[in-house]
Structure 1
Amino acid sequence: MAKTIFITGASRGLGRIWAEAFLKRGDQVVVAVRNPDTLNELANQYSSSLLVIKLDVTDKVACFEAVAKAKSHFGAIDVLINNAGYGHVGAIEELEEQEIRTQFETNVYGLLWVTQAVIPVMREQKVGHIIQLSSALGVVVFPTLGLYSASKFAVEAITESLAVEVSGFGIKVSILEPNGFNTDFATTSGVESKPLAIYDDVRAALAASNNPDDWGVPEATAEAVLKLVDTENPPLRLILGRVGFQWIKHVYDQRMKTWEAWQEVSVAAQGN
Structure 2
Amino acid sequence: MTIEVYNYPLSPCGEKVRFALAEKELAFVDHHVDLGSKDNLKPGFLRLNPKGLVPVLLDDGVAVADSTVILEYIEDRWPDRPLRPADPLGRARMRRWTKHVDEVLHPAWPGIAWPILVRPKWLAKPATEVEAMLAALLDPRRRERQKRMFDQGLAAQDARESIAVFIATCEEMEIQLAGTPWLAGEDFSLADVALLPYLVAVEIFDLARLYQRFTNVARWYAAACARSCFKGHPRTMLPAKRLQEIEASLVRSARQGSVNLAPNT
What band does the TM-score fall into relative to the shorter chain?
Answer: 0.3 to 0.5
Q: Which structure shows the bigger proportion of residues in helix conformation?
A: 2
TM-score between the two structures when normalised by the length of structure 2 = 0.35
Point out the structure with max Rg over C-alpha.
1
